Structure 1
Amino acid sequence: MTGSVMPTRRLGDVELPAAGTWKIDPGHAEVGFVGRHFMLTKVRGRFTGVDGAVEVAENPADSKVSVTIDMASVNSGDQARDDHLRSADFFDVDGNPTAAFTSTEVRWEGSGGSMTGDLTIKGVTRPVTLSIDYLGYAQDPWDNHRAVFSARSRINREDWGLTWNMPLAKGGLLVSREIDLEFEVELIYAG
């Protein structure tokens, strides 16, 4: 990607990625999640099978994002928990091998903003709004132009039919309904 490519541009006082197609680098992308066990302990997991692209528009608010998540790539650090997450109780990976996010609206100010889109998990599609930060640009040793973004949101997993749970003897639930989502992605300029 050497030559006359200008990988960034200035909009006001902020440097942003150049308009064009930026592909997700699957080796440097993950979708993380944080829930609570016994309503107390944070349990973290991630999906490492993440692919997609960002169409950066001249006006950042016109940009489009599409992401596909390989649900079998879930890793929470515990094989038994991961197997349970892959089962029909949660993600039903055999019947729903992927999840997807497709943007519908972008609001941008400075080096951050928000993005609303359709999140599909286990065959259920619902809107989600992500808070987004552009973390910067880097040129790697192989002359690829990279843009790095971080995004986050809180969802109620039951909105996507992920309702498995167990009540606790003194009240509360084994697994929290609210889940924090965290996206960390490196994008490679594709033109």
Structure 2
Amino acid sequence: MTESLIPTRVVDGVELPAAGTWRIDPGHAEVAFVGRHFMLTKVRGRFTAVDGAVEVAEDPADSRISVTIEMASVNSGDQARDDHLRSADFFDVESNPVATFVSTGVHWEGNGGSMTGDLTIKGVTKPVTLTVDYLGYAQDPWDNHRAVFSARGRINREDWGLTWNMPLAKGGLLVSREIDLELEVELIHAG
């Protein structure tokens, strides 16, 4: 194996992906969200159409990521809820078909860290910080080099104009303002 094809390297005693471009594998990427219904029950959903790339830098803290999410791909396991999420009450996918995340800073230590970036939903851009873990490397049966990451964070959906709600008779709201984000991503080394 030539030096340019080595898919990992050791940085400060930890094995990390090699510097270069790593593409998100859409078939093995999940951008999920968890909210509360009646302020009690967890409701989970995910976006099934996710694309993007990570530019892994020699210094992991200089790495960058850019992601595009097709908002119509939302799937929460309930067609009526998904249709409502796609409507103007929430994502308004007819006018805003994609959301994007572009990193603005990375803090990396060992095999994890945090990433800050600009999340744009419905034309509104706000900063978000995610906790990120590098889970490891694998070579698949077709000789693709894969790096696997997990990330999580919490946002207030109202910061992006996602304000639809209904008050409950005994107080509280039908849908929580705080939404947990959970990401599981496989990247394929592209050079």
Normalising by the smaller structure, the TM-score range is over 0.9
Task: Summarize the alignment of residues 80-119 of structure 1 with structure 2, pairs less than 5 Å apart.
Answer: 80-119=80-119
Gaps of 5+ in 2: none
Partners of 1:95 and 1:181 in 2: how far apart? Answer: 23
Identical aligned pairs, as a percentage? Answer: 85
Query: What is the one-letter code of the residue matched to 2:109?
Result: E
What CA distance in whole angstroms lies between the structure 1 residues aligned with 2:111 and 2:165?
A: 39
- The equivalent of 1:137 in structure 2 is 137
Show CA shifts across 1:127-180 (max 9, x none). Answer: 000000000000000000000001110000000000000000000000000000
CA distance in 1 between counterparts of 2:111 and 2:137 reads 12
Give the equivalent residue in structure 2 for 1:165. Answer: 165
Measure the CA separation in 1 of the matches of 2:57 and 2:139. Answer: 21
Query: Structure 2 CA distance, aligned partners of 1:186 and 1:39?
Result: 33
- CA drift of 1:66 comes to 0.1
Deviation at residue 183 of structure 1 after TM alignment: 1.0
Q: CA RMSD in A?
A: 0.5
SS at match of 1:120: strand
CA drift at 1:12: 1.8
Residues of 1 paired with 2:67 and 2:183: CA distance?
Answer: 10
Distance 1:185 1:70 in 2: 16
Partner amino acid for 1:39? Answer: M
1:172 partner letter: G
Could you tell me how far 1:30 is from its partner in structure 2?
1.1
Distance 1:30 1:92 in 2: 21
Measure, in 1, the Cα distance between the counterparts of 2:132 and 2:159: 22
Distance 2:186 2:122 in 1: 26
**What TM-score do the two structures reach when normalised by structure 2?**
0.98
Deviations 1:98-142 (A, max 9, x none): 000000000000000000000000110000000000000000000
Unaligned runs of 5+ in 1: none
Q: Does 1:178 align with 2:178?
A: yes
Counterpart CA distance in 2 for 1:124 and 1:182 is 21
Match of 1:59 in 2: 59
Amino acid of the residue matched to residue 79 of structure 1?
Answer: Q
Task: Report the AA paired with residue 177 of structure 1.
Answer: R
Aligned equivalents of 2:67 and 2:159: distance in 1?
A: 20
Tell me the TM-score normalised to structure 1 length.
0.98
- Structure 1 residue 13, shift from structure 2 partner: 1.8
Question: Distance in 2 between the 1:65 and 1:183 partners?
Answer: 13
The 4+ residue runs of structure 1 with deviation greater than 3 A are none
Structure 1 residue 80: Cα displacement: 0.2
Look up the match of 1:6.
6
**SS at 2:72's partner residue?**
helix
Equivalences, count: 189
